[in-house]
């Protein structure tokens, strides 16, 4: 089973490219679901037909679904939000909320995971193509399971992360009756953990970044690439969409020259990640025929559901008295991040993004002795206390 998620700056063509990928996958004989996590109902626009908030067959082997958070919360997830808030409402956890709220703008995003987990368990589809909202929201979505784990670890320091323990403490210290929601909470955590494992497995999940040959867009693509590496997700392709054809264009001469330089820059900076390209179609792209044209340009006759590239973003090596952990985070500057270690958790702040990385257990008994950044590697040394 495969999950392929498209991300990139607003308006670059994520929905179009995701749809093209799903059509390719369906034509290759895989039972394919195209799901949009974007509240803007973009798939309906791309396919020029109204789509439902549950999978709906629109073509042989191709199902589409427009994720609707209100529909989903009501149908599958009604008590969850209330529950999460009640856990954090009691004394002593306030500060953590204040500090961490920025990491977790809304529990709503989590509902998308519940759908994905359901599809993963049911195995009805071979390939699930996810069209997501612009980069920032995608990162929130992807970091959600880790952020929640980090919350709980900080809220209850010294406690091994286990919902059982959390539940007991909450009942004892606050009297908040978690009994009703207790099982639900346990289920939520189990599900988040399942889907996170699936997303972090490069054989199963590929992230593809869509960009255009324009300066701001490329910068955002690079930033997204760093963060995705940081979170441990495998980026298996980059897509350059809306390339202007260069023949006989006098008015666009300068634009086309820059475009050429930008494409060259992308090819150099992202290598060895494979790059796929699609031309500007000269018209807006909606409906299966036009999307299929993009599909042909991008993938030719190749199966788009394959894993195009696999990278190893985390390496652990033994050194004298401890371990060196190497994390691949390209395109950042040394001064842009800070790093702290709590127990087996490593907290890395890069600009406004925060990542908690849970190191192997041994890290509990070690201290952070040194770290340095040497593009693209962040090297952390842990030695015995
Ligand atoms: N190769 C192309 N040639 C011409 N038009 C294109 C091409 N790719 C996408 N478009 C058009 O650009 C617009 C934006 O595309 P799309 O909706 O796929 O972007 P998006 O990244 O999903 O946007 P959003 O961030 O809003 O979700 C649409 O009108 C689409 O038809
Ligand atoms: Mg879109």
Quick one: average pLDDT of 177-197?
A: 69
User: Is a pLDDT exceeding 70 seen at residue 77?
Assistant: no
> 342 pLDDT band (50/70/90 cuts)?
confident
Q: Is the CB of 241 under 6 A from ligand 1?
A: yes
Of 90, 84, 94, 92, nearest to 175 by C-alpha is 90
Q: Measuring from atom 31 of ligand 1, which residue has the nearest CA?
A: 285
Q: Measuring from atom 8 of ligand 1, which residue has the nearest CA?
A: 13
User: Is a pLDDT exceeding 50 seen at residue 100?
Assistant: no
Q: Percent of the chain, pLDDT > 90?
A: 38
- Average pLDDT taken over every residue of the chain: 81
Choosing from 5, 11, 21 the residue with most ligand 1 atoms within 8 A of its CB, the one to mutate for a pocket test is 11
Query: In terms of pLDDT, which residue wins out, 106 or 339?
Result: 339
The answer to whether the peptide bond before residue 376 is cis (omega within 30 degrees of 0) is yes
User: Is a pLDDT exceeding 60 seen at residue 88?
Assistant: no
Domain chopping of the chain, boundaries: 1-310, 314-384
Quick one: average pLDDT of 47-51?
A: 91
Nearest atom (ligand 1) to Cα of 243: 1
CA distance 342 to 358: 10
Rg (Cα) of the chain, in Å, rounded?
A: 22
| pLDDT (0 to 100) of residue 186 | 65
Q: Is the CB of 181 under 6 A from ligand 1?
A: no
Q: Is the CB of 130 under 6 A from ligand 1?
A: no
Q: Measuring from atom 23 of ligand 1, which residue has the nearest CA?
A: 11
The reply to whether CATH 1.10.357.10 applies to domain 1-310 is no
Q: Is 108 exposed, middle or buried (0-12, 13-18, 19+ CB in 10 A)?
A: middle
The two tokens of residue 46 are: 């791309």
Q: Is the CB of 285 under 6 A from ligand 1?
A: yes
Quick one: average pLDDT of 186-208?
A: 85
Query: In terms of pLDDT, which residue wins out, 188 or 381?
Result: 381
Nearest atom (ligand 1) to Cα of 133: 27
Choosing from 15, 294, 297 the residue with most ligand 1 atoms within 8 A of its CB, the one to mutate for a pocket test is 15
Q: Is the CB of 134 under 6 A from ligand 1?
A: yes
Most confident of the following: 86-90, 216-220, 340-344:
216-220
Of 184, 194, 195, nearest to 84 by C-alpha is 184
User: Is a pLDDT exceeding 80 seen at residue 237?
Assistant: yes
Give CA 334 to chain center in angstroms: 24
Three-state SS for the chain is CEEEEEECCCCCCHHHHHHHHHHHHHHCCCCEEEEECCCCCHHHHHHCCCCCCCCEEEECCEEEEECCHHHHHHHHCCCHHHHHHHHHCCCCCHHHHHHHHHHCCCCHHHHHHHHHHHHHHHCCCCEEEEECCCHHHHHHHHHHHHHHHHHHHHHCCCCCCCHHHHHHHHHHHHCCCCHHHHHHHHHHHHHHHHHHHHHHCCCCEEEEEEECCCHHHHHHHHHHHHHHHHHCCCEEEEEEEEECCCCCCCCCHHHHHHHHHHHHHHHHHHCCCCEEEEECCCCCCCCHHHHHHHHHHHHCCCCCCCCCCCCCCEEEEEECCEEEEEEECCCCCHHHEEEEEECCEEEEEECCEEEEEECCHHHHHEEEEEEEEECCEEEEEEEEC
User: Is a pLDDT exceeding 70 seen at residue 28?
Assistant: yes
Quick one: average pLDDT of 77-91?
A: 56
CA distance 83 to 234: 33
Q: Percent of the chain, pLDDT > 70?
A: 74
Q: Is the CB of 129 under 6 A from ligand 1?
A: no
Query: In terms of pLDDT, which residue wins out, 228 or 162?
Result: 228
Most confident of the following: 158-172, 314-328, 370-384:
370-384
Indicate the fold that domain 314-384 takes in CATH.
Immunoglobulin-like (2.60.40)
| pLDDT (0 to 100) of residue 326 | 84
CA distance 328 to 232: 9
Most confident of the following: 82-91, 186-195, 265-274:
265-274
Determine the distance separating the centroid of ligand 2 and the alpha carbon of 15, expressed in angstroms: 4
CA distance 381 to 383: 7
Query: In terms of pLDDT, which residue wins out, 328 or 230?
Result: 328
Query: In terms of pLDDT, which residue wins out, 247 or 60?
Result: 60
Q: Is the CB of 132 under 6 A from ligand 1?
A: no
User: Is a pLDDT exceeding 60 seen at residue 91?
Assistant: no
> 99 pLDDT band (50/70/90 cuts)?
very low
CA distance 13 to 16: 5
The two tokens of residue 87 are: 């856990």
Nearest atom (ligand 1) to Cα of 10: 25
User: Is a pLDDT exceeding 90 seen at residue 311?
Assistant: no
> 108 pLDDT band (50/70/90 cuts)?
low
Determine the distance separating the centroid of ligand 1 and the alpha carbon of 10, expressed in angstroms: 9
Give residue-wise pLDDT tens across range 240-296: 999 998 876 777 888 899 999 999 989 888 888 999 999 999 999 999 999 999 999
| pLDDT (0 to 100) of residue 73 | 67
Quick one: average pLDDT of 226-244?
A: 88
């Amino acid at each position: 089973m495969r999950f392929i998620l498209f991300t990139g700056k607003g308006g670059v063509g994520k929905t179009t490219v995701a749809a093209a990928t799903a059509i390719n996958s369906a034509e290759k004989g895989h039972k394919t679901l195209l799901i949009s996590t974007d509240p803007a109902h973009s798939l309906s626009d791309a396919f020029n037909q109204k789509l439902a908030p549950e999978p709906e067959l629109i073509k042989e082997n191709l199902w589409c679904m427009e994720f609707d958070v209100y529909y989903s919360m009501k149908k599958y997830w009604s008590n969850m939000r209330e529950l999460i808030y009640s856990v954090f409402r009691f004394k002593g956890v306030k500060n953590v909320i204040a500090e961490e709220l920025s990491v977790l703008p809304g529990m709503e995003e989590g509902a998308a995971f519940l759908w994905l987990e359901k599809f993963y368990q049911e195995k009805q589809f071979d390939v699930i193509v996810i069209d997501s909202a612009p980069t920032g929201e995608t990162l929130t979505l992807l970091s959600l399971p880790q952020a929640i784990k980090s919350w709980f670890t900080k809220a209850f320091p010294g406690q091994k992360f286990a919902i059982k323990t959390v539940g007991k403490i909450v009942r004892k210290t606050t009297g908040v009756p978690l009994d009703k929601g207790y099982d639900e909470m346990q289920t939520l955590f189990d599900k988040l953990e399942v889907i996170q494992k699936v997303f972090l497995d490069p054989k199963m999940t590929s992230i593809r970044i869509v960009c255009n040959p324009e300066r701001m867009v490329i910068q955002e693509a690079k930033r997204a690439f760093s963060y995705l590496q940081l979170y441990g997700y495998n980026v298996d392709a980059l897509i350059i969409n809306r390339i202007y054809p260069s023949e006989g264009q006098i008015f666009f001469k300068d634009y086309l020259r820059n475009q050429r330089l930008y494409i060259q820059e992308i090819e150099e900076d992202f290598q060895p990640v494979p790059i796929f390209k699609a031309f500007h179609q000269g018209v807006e792209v909606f409906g299966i025929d036009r999307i299929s044209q993009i599909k042909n340009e991008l993938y030719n006759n190749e199966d788009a559901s394959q894993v195009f590239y696999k990278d190893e973003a985390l390496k652990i090596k033994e050194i004298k008295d401890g371990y060196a952990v190497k994390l691949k985070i390209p395109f950042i500057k040394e001064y842009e991040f800070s790093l702290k270690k709590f127990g087996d958790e490593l907290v890395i702040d890069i600009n406004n993004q925060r990542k908690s990385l849970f190191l192997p257990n041994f890290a509990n008994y070690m201290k952070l002795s040194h770290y340095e950044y040497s593009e693209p590697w962040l090297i952390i040394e842990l030695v015995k206390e």
